[in-house]
Amino acid sequence: MLAIKNNIMADNAARHLGTSYDALARSVERLSSGLRINSAKDDAAGLAVRELIRADLASFQQGSRNAQDAISMLQTAEGGLSMIDDILVRMRELAEQSATDSYSATQITIMQSEFDELAAEITRIVNTTTFNDNNLLDATTPNAFEIALGSGLTAGQTIKLDKQDMTATTLGVGGAVEIASGRGVAATGDSYFTGNDVADALTFTFDTDQSASVTIGNGSVTLAATVTALNQSSRSAVSGWNIATEAYNSDTGQYVLKLSHHTAGDVDFEVVNTGAATWAADLGLDVVATAGFVNTAGAASLTLGEQAAITAVETAISTKDTFRAKLGYMMNRLEAARSVVDIQAENLLTAQSRVSDVDVATEMAAMTRSQVLAQAGISMLAQANMMPQMALKLLG
């Protein structure tokens, strides 16, 4: 019907042009963003799936980085152990050297001094081997590290890295300062100290304020009685602290008196000779060798038994090697886990791309079609707008 009030053909052409233009705009948006889904209206279900995949993908990608960080952490720990390895080898060498009778007691004491310093260096290395402020080789918290590999801390998605204390004390080659007498007896019940009068008594003074002391002497006193008297006094100074033990010297086959520093508190001790010239006049915690007493540096002592020291160092090396090997296979495991996580992330990325990314070839074809339709729509709208003028010719 030819009409001048309502141009139905123009309205129809405008509607189709609007549809073509919207399709063209959608193609331009997709091609410029690279995404098929740019808003929920594009594909509501697809958007939900994509966001879930994105969350999992981010988790797995972070899990891969977590594994690499853990490998770096274990490499740091292993680096510290490599230095401890060299130190223990030198300590083993010193223990073997001291077992040779061609060295004097003074020379062995010098060896003991180096031995003690090396033990102290082991502990220093342990205390300074850290990663992100976490100590890796001592007994401090945390005792283990949980490595998340893709799905939080859920079962089967983590690797636990257990720590092990590598301090000299735990390895058995060092520890709290101890001193032991060079004087020995065949049995603990044998007479250990004989004083003719009070002036010959041996006085032990301990605690930093010298508030506790005990005098052993003035008559024949066995080693066992000496230990008992010392421990009664030390327990009164610090609850539960036994300062004295009867130590067996495997080289001489004799028992000696050993005094131990109280590591948990600020406790010191002195051994004061009130008369007998054979005893040290004054012994402190840092003494390496004195008349009658030598520093034993804890568990391993060259002066109390070279064979025992050799055994202690060998045990320490074995303990260290076991833990170092564990670090090695844990690094290998983390490498494998990281590879698996990377594969999972790659597959998730493929799935996300399939759901969300635009197919450029298909979208370009759609865009070309929309461009042609839009151009045709514009031409037809121009033609439709001229139809009322044909009706006006009939009125003329």
Residue whose tokens read 């999972």 = 344
Q: What is the pLDDT of residue 74?
A: 94
d(CA 330, CA 332): 5
* Residue 142 preceded by cis peptide, ω within 30: yes
For the four alpha carbons of 111, 112, 115 and 117, in that order, the dihedral sign comes to: negative
List, in order, residues 6 or more apart from 293 with CB less than 8 Å away: 179, 180, 181, 182, 259, 271, 280, 283, 287
Q: What are the percentages of helix, strand and coil residues in the chain, rounded to 5?
A: 55, 15, 30
Is 230 in contact with 221 (CB distance < 8 Å)?
Answer: no
pTM assigned to the model: 0.63
Q: What is the pLDDT of residue 234?
A: 75
**pLDDT band per the 50, 70, 90 thresholds, residue 289:** very low
Q: What is the pLDDT of residue 299?
A: 46
Q: Which residues pair with 79 in a beta bridge?
A: none
d(CA 24, CA 21): 5
**pLDDT band per the 50, 70, 90 thresholds, residue 43:** confident
Q: Which of 5-9, 79-83, 171-175, 363-367 has the highest mean pLDDT?
A: 79-83
Task: State both tokens at 164.
Answer: 């092990």
Amino acid present at 185: V
> Was domain 53-172+309-345 assigned CATH 3.20.20.80?
no
The residue among 95, 22, 13, 23 whose CA lies nearest residue 365 is 23
d(CA 247, CA 260): 11
The residue among 89, 143, 144 whose CA lies nearest residue 321 is 89
SS3 94: helix
Angle at 60 between CA 146 and CA 32, to 5 degrees: 150
Express each pLDDT in 229-287 by its tens digit. Answer: 878 877 777 677 777 888 887 667 888 877 766 543 334 445 544 444 344 333 332 33
SS3 247: strand
Express each pLDDT in 192-231 by its tens digit. Answer: 765 544 444 555 655 444 444 556 655 677 888 888 887 8
**Mean of pLDDT values over 287-311:** 53
**Mean of pLDDT values over 1-27:** 84
d(CA 18, CA 37): 21
